Amino acid sequence: MSEATAVSTSVPVKPKAKRNPYQSPFLLAILPQVILFVSAVVLFWLSQKDMAGTIGYWEYFIPVIAVISLISGWSQSYLSNEVWAWYLIRQLVHWGGLFALLYAANHLGLREAVDAQQYTILVIYLTAFTSLLAAIHVDFKLFFFSLFLVFCAYLLAAPADNAMLLYIGDTFGIDSAQSKALSISSGVAMAGFVASTFVLLSMRGALITKRIGAKRKEA
């Protein structure tokens, strides 16, 4: 009698890819930019429908931008060897100035002196230029987002015969561009997001290089 021999075939198991210890996952890194651009597009869409009803949403959006700026800007501060305490003070003063200005506008009669549309546009412009200054001094990844906010404010300020929409329509061959403000703004937001992602990628590369260098010095 012959005994049956069991033949087992072993399938090689691929080792799991190790996470880079010098940087956060890419999807987590771009999440703040996704939140900013998507939220801005949604708020722009709501403002087109009811300008007066969205002013509170824009005001609540400002702390979100400030928190993202605080967290996201630390990488640029790290690259420039800035002291953490000084970075935190600069951020608090920077965004605190905008909060103080809006508080004064709400309690010193400025809000009552203008209509809801004008005040909403004013808040968007103030947020945009505060973000632009933050991009220049703290976190350059906010640069394209701040430009997009300026674009949104301009579209809301001049909804009829908007020169920017006419220019974009003529440049890219978009028919009836005036009636496609939301679609065009979404496309501009996507372009800004892509540009911000390129900035993020370049900064991540610089961060990896610096952290590896610091690790080698410690060793």
pTM for the full model? 0.85
Note whether 200 and 143 are within 8 A (CB): no
Give the model confidence (pLDDT) of 107-140 as tens digits: 887 788 888 888 999 999 999 999 999 999 889 9
| Minimum mean pLDDT range among 31-40, 71-80, 114-123 | 71-80
pLDDT, one tens digit per residue, over 195-204 is: 999 999 988 8
Asked if residue 217 has pLDDT above 80, the reply is no
- d(C-alpha 214, C-alpha 141), whole Å: 24
Q: What's the whole-number mean pLDDT along residues 159-187? A: 90
**Once rounded to an integer, what is the mean pLDDT over residues 203-219?**
76
Res 88: pLDDT: 93
Specify the range with the lowest mean pLDDT, choosing from 62-66, 79-83, 101-105.
Answer: 79-83
Q: b vs e for 19-31, b when ≥16 Cβ sit within 10 Å of the residue's Cβ?
A: eeeeeeeeeebbe
User: What letter represents residue 77's amino acid?
Assistant: S
